[in-house]
Chains A and B, each alone.
Chain A
């Protein structure tokens, strides 16, 4: 690709020595707006619980950078961007991406900002996978890394969920082999079904139960095929609200990157990091069944086994995978402790 645009936000102030820069990698459906409120925002940024003045990633201390990733649809070049060669959206002509491509673009953003070395890289889920890729391939640029609710190799079940989501999109008649923009259609049904199904994997069974139980959406159950249970209404809302902010092609491209990610597959995968180690904190949540604690333990086994300075916490939380976005005291205390140490 000849040219890539990147949308990013920054919070806090870069110090004169340029030693306080923290890079945030967002998850599958995140964007550059990680923290704070822009004029007119109804809700703060997606990781506002964690990033801000006095928060675990304290913007009074750190200069925080968060871009939208390559292949996304929130301001950075992706498959629905215009292909300069044709003047049309890329569609399925957009190249398949790998985790290393995200990191390449992130590092170019660092160059653009004049930051050669990051005090910390932080990411959850797909964001954590980018952090892992970055420290394994360019460890000399990183002092500390936090990898939250991530995976170093998707399981068959993970790939299966991912595949069904993509099939929902691609089998939508409005998908038009990816040329839906040019043809004035939109695979909304497919994308919303993909989102609804994925959302089930982001919450724990107990989380759903305590939020909705078997409650009826409107007072009492009507016994019909419509949206009758409260949980159905919730999923319907999740699916529909997703349409206004996400692109079906980005969903295909980004989920596929996760499926193929397998950074420890080669025997020398940890050699560069072991030779120039960053300090790593790996965090999982005990009710996360999308990327269970075993995914994080696998990362820890590889890093600790290569003598990389590694810490690991399994946080107790009822909320499943989405816990990484929520305020959970033990989780936030752990991140605070690691970041305070990084600042010391």
Chain B
């Protein structure tokens, strides 16, 4: 493979057991699902962008065009082993509803989210400017991110849906696991990956 795989996707792929059936919501060009094929995984991607969809089809990834906000009902209860929602929850209109759907579609899920409360963002905000960083690269008027959260505010949402956190992995700005681990992650992690499981 010529281009470097996104480090956070490599990390996510390590969290997913071999031969799992995976639903990747916001799958882009299908990079994660391609990576997971090497582990004997099968599955489906979901995407809205025509260029990404075509790229995924060309890569041989099964991809379904639909809107995460309104059309996750298309997938049956427990129809997958694990659902991945990588850097997408901040883009949806109703994150709680999407998490509820994910918990219905599979017991296990991997959710990653940029951390609005990273120390650089706090400094930028103290300086009177809205946070921008490698994980939050957009101007406020031109961002697909319509919900911002700190890691500290994210876990109560999981709890409210009875989603248990099996693992939480803070990432640095490059998408590698953060050296400090979960210690003060709410201030030092640029984003975080959660492995969740839903009640049955």
Interface residues of A (CB under 8 A from B): 279, 281, 297, 300-301, 304-305, 307, 309-314, 330, 333-334, 337-338, 340-341, 344
User: Does B9 sit within 8 A of A, measured CB to CB?
Assistant: no
A-side contacts of B57, CB under 8 Å: 281, 311, 313, 334, 337-338, 341
> How many pairs of residues, A versus B, come closer than 8 Å at their CB atoms?
54
Cβ–Cβ < 8 Å partners of A305 in chain B: 76, 79
Whether the Cβ atoms of A312 and B64 lie closer than 8 Å is yes
Does residue B88 face the partner (Cβ distance < 8 Å to A)? no
> Which residues on B sit within 8 Å (CB–CB) of A334?
53-54, 57
The residue of chain B having its C-beta at the shortest distance from the C-beta of A305 within the complex is B76
Chain A contact residues, majority secondary structure: helix
Contact across chains for B44 and A310 when beta carbons are under 8 A apart: yes
Contact A301 B74 (CB under 8 A): yes
Cα of A300 to Cα of B50 in the assembled complex, Å: 18
Chain A residue contacts of B65, Cβ below 8 A: 312-314
In the complex, what residue of chain A is closest to B23 when comparing beta carbons?
A304
The reply to whether A337 and B54 form a contact with Cβ atoms under 8 Å apart is yes
- Chain A residues whose CB sits within 8 angstroms of the CB of B62 once the complex forms: 279, 309-311
The interface bits of chain B over 46-73 (1 if a CB of A lies within 8 angstroms of the residue's CB, else 0) are 0000100111111111111110000000
Give 22 A-B contacts (CB < 8 Å), ordered by A residue. Answer: A279-B62, A281-B57, A301-B74, A304-B44, A304-B64, A304-B75, A305-B79, A309-B42, A310-B62, A311-B61, A311-B62, A311-B63, A312-B63, A313-B50, A313-B65, A314-B65, A330-B50, A330-B54, A334-B53, A334-B54, A341-B59, A344-B60
Give bound CA distance, A338 to B55, whole Å. 10
The count of chain B contact residues (Cβ–Cβ below 8 Å) is 22
User: Chain A contacts of B178 at CB under 8 A?
Assistant: none
CB <8 Å contact, A313 and B53: yes
Residues of A within 8 A of B50 (CB): 313, 330, 333
Kindly identify which residue among B42, B58, B66, B75 contacts A337, using a CB–CB cutoff of 8 Å: B58
Interface centre among A309, A311, A330, A340 (most CB of B within 10 A): A311
Q: Which residue of chain A has the shortest Cβ distance to B57 in the bound complex?
A: A337
Question: How near does chain A come to B126, taking the closest CB pair, in angstroms?
Answer: 44
Measured CB to CB, the nearest residue on chain B to A301 is: B74
A313 to chain B, nearest CB (A): 5
Task: Give CA–CA (A309, B57) in the complex, Å.
Answer: 11
What is the 8 Å Cβ interface bit string for chain B, positions 137-157, against chain A (1 contact, 0 not)?
000000000000000000000
A307-B65 Cα distance, complex, nearest whole Å: 17
B108 contacts the other chain (CB 8 A): no
Task: Report the minimal beta-carbon distance from B36 to chain A, rounded to whole angstroms.
Answer: 14
A residues in contact with B61, CB < 8 Å: 311
